[in-house]
Amino acid sequence: MASVTFQNVEKKFGDLTIIKGLNINVQDKEFLVLVGPSGCGKTTALRLLAGLEEITSGEIKIGERTVNDVAPKDRDIAMVFQSYALYPHLSVYDNMAFGLKLRKTPKEDIKRRVNEAADILGIQELLQRKPRQLSGGQRQRVAVGRAIVREPKVFLFDEPLSNLDAKLRVQMRAEISKLHQRLKTTFIYVTHDQTEAMTMATRIAVINKGNLQQLDTPQNLYDHPNNLFVAGFIGSPAMNFFPSKIVKNGDKIFVDSGDFKVQIPNDLAGPYKGMDGKNVIFGIRPENIHDPEFAPSNIYGEKVTAKVDVTELMGNETLLYLVSGKNIFVGRVDPRSHLRVGHETDVIFDMGKFHIFDATTEEAVR
């Protein structure tokens, strides 16, 4: 088992900088997820750790050993790719054993490791089948099993679930989480799907355009995003944003979007008292916007008049796409809501759970 350290790591392809001074300390036995939009550099960071790409500058450590110049086969890592990359002419057993045979591992040891991995993944009955006889989920389990038999210090996963259908992705998410708990090994997992990140990770590193935006627990990323990008990336549907001004009226502080004005509760207004007239971006998550008929009684609610533009009935919730002047936003409301397309109503903003960002720097104001 081992920790992993990225220290001022930079990666350039010609004049194009993909990774910009990346600093991450992954703790031993941690499940760290690298998340961000396509092209942000997360897979490149994983490939640098695996030794599949050469770093331009900086240092990567696995445990206490610097691995910049260590060959991939000697880094004691195992990688699971988006593509299953199974040998079609080999059985499941031989696919899982292939890497061990190349290392001239004793046959009895190979048999033990393959059978143990098959037991963990529930694929014992598949060991004599060929990949063409397997479903997508079964092939992904074999690919994970091939990594497990290596008994590495660090597991690397590069979007391993993106080829699976939605139901199977949910199932495999749970299985990979259970696998981490059972193996008690360091997992580093790359995905562009923030739902995967939120449900699986011990900590999440949010990356955008090669820069680390925030490294924190899932709950802290959700509750206390450092900037506008993290706030908009974490959470589904995404946080609503409104270009606004801070307005002071006596001892009360308001956020004025031009189309609506809401008061910041007095006990939360401290950071904004010196910002009268300042341009900000006001953020609130869809789940903190309520149908007035079903709004919780214990919140500090502010009314905002809006027209219902679109509804999406999801069974356990209803998504309302709302219009207030020039502002279009989403509310996630009680499924019993009677609001329908064309209705004009006062929706309730839970002002105990708002976010303010500097309009210039896009950094959170707290």
pLDDT value for 281: 98
Confidence band (pLDDT; 50, 70, 90) for 81?
confident
Quote the mean pLDDT of the chain.
93
In whole angstroms, what is the distance from residue 224 CA to residue 288 CA? 15
Q: Strand ranges (DSSP E) for the chain?
A: 4-13, 16-26, 31-35, 57-62, 65-66, 77-80, 154-158, 186-191, 203-208, 211-216, 240-249, 252-256, 261-264, 279-284, 289-290, 301-313, 318-324, 327-333, 344-350, 354-358
Identify the architecture of domain 240-358 in CATH.
Beta Barrel (2.40)
Intrachain domains 4-233 and 240-358 with the same fold: no
Q: Is the pLDDT of residue 359 over 80?
A: yes
Q: Is the pLDDT of residue 1 over 70?
A: no
Say if residue 256 is exposed, middle or buried (CB neighbours under 10 Å; 0-12, 13-18, 19+). Answer: middle
Helix and strand element counts for the chain (H, E): 8, 20
Indicate the domain borders of the chain.
Answer: 4-233, 240-358
Segment 294-322 shows an average pLDDT of 94
Percent residues over pLDDT 70 in the chain: 100
For the stretch 177-212, pLDDT in tens is 988 998 899 999 999 888 899 999 999 999 999 999
For the stretch 126-185, pLDDT in tens is 999 999 999 888 888 899 999 999 889 999 999 988 878 888 888 888 888 988 998 899
> Which amino acid type is present at position 350?
D
In whole angstroms, what is the distance from residue 326 CA to residue 361 CA? 23
Can you give the C-alpha Rg of the chain in angstroms? Answer: 25
Percent residues over pLDDT 90 in the chain: 82
Cα 207 to Cα 19, 96, 198, 354, 361: the distances in Å are: 9, 33, 15, 23, 17
Q: Cβ distance 126 to 75 under 8 Å?
A: no
Segment 248-261 shows an average pLDDT of 95
Say whether domain 4-233 belongs to CATH 3.40.50.300: yes
In whole angstroms, what is the distance from residue 312 CA to residue 314 CA? 6
CA dihedral 179, 180, 185, 188 (to 10 degrees): 120
- Strand 186-191 and strand 154-158: pairing? parallel
Q: Is the pLDDT of residue 30 over 90?
A: yes
Sequence-distant (≥ 6) Cβ neighbours of residue 14 within 8 angstroms: none
pLDDT value for 295: 93
Single pTM value for the model: 0.91
Q: Is the pLDDT of residue 347 over 70?
A: yes
